[in-house]
């Protein structure tokens, strides 16, 4: 039964089947290759495939006893095209690296393979992850499986679209300005931005930076927790990384421990929100009361989040992208150029002010979580928009000045170093997915996953079943 409906099974079910011997890693790869051939021509989520490499890794893994095959036991995993995989074309969505084939994998990839993950594809991303709409000059645009005229968001858009359409059971993504949460919202899947340090990865810019993190994506909360178990752990080459917890994140998610009190805000007091998105997320948040959870409408003071986020994001671009701006300006898209130049031009006094304000904002968030277990709000302020639009320029009568303004609702969790998850919570009148952002206290990843599992059960959207691309 598992084999006949393999791509429609959950990741947890597939891993259980791998451990029992009901299905092999090679059969999983065969099922994915067929599914990709059927649907990816309409979505463009996985532009680089490496099935020959994957099958070699799968055969080597199958030589080990089942108990030594790691958390994933041979489950295939696609890697976002911002992260290097040894011997596999890794473009970063940029013409600068269009033909780059790294000789060494990122720490994250090495860990996943050590935990029984089998890498079979690279998922599409915007150029260097900039802009929450997945298109680039190397591979073109990734579209939304729920409506192929619409954006899959980004920057982990290829991963989200692959999950939603059954071309992956779990997927790797990354997040600074909502790059796990926005595509999860647009594609009706689960995306978790973990607490900084939860997942070790190779550092290419700021050694102690905590704005950008790597994290898991899946169609269900349990599957997302499973992948986090495989990703989590410390590494000496990532000094911010944390040891793996004693208890698994999957066990925490499956425990379904109810929060006592949660808060909901349609806008966090800082951004316009599409009325339909506000209505859908509010209705979903109040469904928590069906499980006996107290729901109150409130939020902490986040009034300075915009200025802090703009300054520190630009500062991170100056650190990470200034060399490419100097040497390859003609090959960079305008949004990357603007953000990098902004970072290089802003005075140190401005950066110092933003860092101090960030610390104060994080303290206010920590105080807020003394009373509330989870803060709920929209994951993205608009439903999926036409893929041909570079970014959202207006919402609910408010015009945006920059390409990142429409992403402000994800900034507080990033700035406060909090775990944040996008949970599918409903659909627009046009049948497009909407995600509810669930923010937990810093380092409270396990409690957040457990709470998300409770609400996922209450909502009952059955997102474990992938969709066929729709036009």
**Residue positions annotated with a catalytic role:** 80, 155, 179
CA distances from 158 to 31, 93, 184, 196, 242 (A): 19, 11, 10, 23, 28
Q: Which residues of 274-289 are buried (b: 16+ CB within 10 A; e: fewer)?
A: bebbbebbbebbebbe
What is the SS3 assignment for 251?
helix
- The owner of tokens 């807020």 is 368
Cα-atom radius of gyration of the chain, to the nearest Å?
Answer: 20
Dihedral sign of CA atoms 200, 203, 208, 209 in order: negative
Residue 132 CA to residue 406 CA, distance in Å, equals 9
Number of Cβ within 10 Å of residue 323's Cβ equals: 10
Strand-strand pairing, 294-297 and 261-264: parallel
CB half-sphere exposure, 60, CA atoms < 13 A: 11
CA distance 205 to 315: 11
Handedness of CA 204, 205, 210, 214 (dihedral sign): negative
Whole-angstrom Cα distance, residue 445 to residue 216? 12
Q: Quick check: 337 and 402 in contact, CB under 8 A? A: no
Q: Which of 186, 171, 200, 179 is nearest to 125 (CA)?
A: 179
Phi, psi of 99 (to 5 degrees): -120, 20
Cβ-proximal residues to 181 (8 Å cutoff; 6+ apart), any chain: 175, 191, 193, 379, 380, 410, 420, 421, 422, 435, 437
Query: In the Cβ-directed half-sphere of 260, how many Cα atoms lie within 13 Å?
Result: 4
Residue whose structure tokens are 């691309």: 469
Tokens of 8: 């429609």
Q: CA 96 to CA 143: how far, in whole Å?
A: 23
Q: Which residues on neighbouring strands pair with residue 435, listed in sequence order?
A: 424
Comparing CA positions, the residue from 211, 213, 218, 210 lying closest to residue 193 is 213
449 vs 171: CA distance, rounded Å: 17
């Amino acid at each position: 039964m598992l084999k006949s409906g393999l791509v429609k099974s959950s990741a947890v079910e597939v891993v259980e089947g791998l451990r029992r011997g009901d299905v092999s890693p090679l059969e999983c790869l065969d099922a994915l290759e067929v599914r990709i051939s059927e649907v990816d021509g309409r979505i463009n989520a996985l532009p680089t495939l490496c099935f020959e490499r994957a099958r070699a890794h799968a055969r080597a893994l199958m030589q080990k006893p089942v108990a030594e095959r790691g958390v994933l036991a041979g489950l295939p995993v696609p890697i976002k095209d911002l992260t290097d995989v040894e011997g596999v074309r890794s473009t970063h969505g940029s013409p600068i690296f269009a033909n780059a084939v790294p000789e060494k994998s990122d720490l994250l990839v090495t860990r996943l393979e050590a935990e029984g993950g089998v890498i079979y594809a690279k998922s599409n991303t915007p150029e260097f992850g900039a802009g929450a709409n997945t298109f680039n000059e190397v591979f073109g645009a990734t579209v939304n499986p729920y409506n192929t005229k619409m954006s899959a968001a980004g920057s982990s858009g290829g991963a989200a679209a692959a999950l939603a359409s059954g071309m992956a059971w779990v997927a790797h993504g990354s997040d600074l300005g909502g790059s796990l949460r926005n595509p999860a919202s647009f594609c009706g899947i689960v995306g978790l931005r973990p607490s900084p340090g939860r997942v070790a990865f190779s550092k290419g810019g700021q050694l102690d930076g905590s704005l950008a993190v790597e994290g898991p994506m899946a169609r269900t909360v349990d599957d997302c927790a499973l992948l986090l178990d495989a990703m989590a752990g410390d590494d000496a080459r990532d000094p911010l990384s944390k040891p793996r917890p004693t208890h698994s994140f999957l066990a925490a998610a499956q425990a379904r421990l109810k929060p006592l009190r949660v808060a909901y805000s349609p806008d966090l007091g800082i951004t316009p929100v599409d009325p339909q998105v506000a209505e859908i997320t509010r209705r979903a948040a109040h469904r928590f009361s069906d499980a006996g959870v107290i729901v109150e409408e409130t939020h902490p003071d986040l009034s300075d989040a915009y200025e802090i986020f703009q300054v520190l994001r630009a500062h991170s671009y100056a650190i990470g992208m200034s060399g490419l701006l100097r040497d390859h300006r003609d090959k960079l898209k305008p949004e990357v150029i603007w953000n990098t130049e902004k970072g290089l031009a802003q005075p140190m006094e401005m950066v110092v002010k933003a860092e101090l304000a960030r610390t104060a904002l994080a303290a206010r968030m920590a105080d807020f979580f003394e009373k509330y277990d989870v803060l709920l709000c929209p994951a993205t302020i608009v439903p999926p928009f036409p893929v041909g639009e570079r970014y959202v320029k207006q919402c609910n009568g408010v015009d945006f000045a920059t390409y990142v303004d429409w992403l402000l609702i994800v900034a507080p969790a990033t700035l406060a170093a909090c775990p944040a998850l996008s949970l599918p919570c409903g659909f627009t009148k046009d049948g497009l997915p909407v995600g509810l952002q669930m923010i937990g206290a810093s380092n409270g990843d396990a409690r957040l996953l457990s709470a998300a599992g409770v609400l996922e059960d209450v909502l009952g959207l059955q997102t474990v079943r992938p969709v066929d691309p729709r036009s």
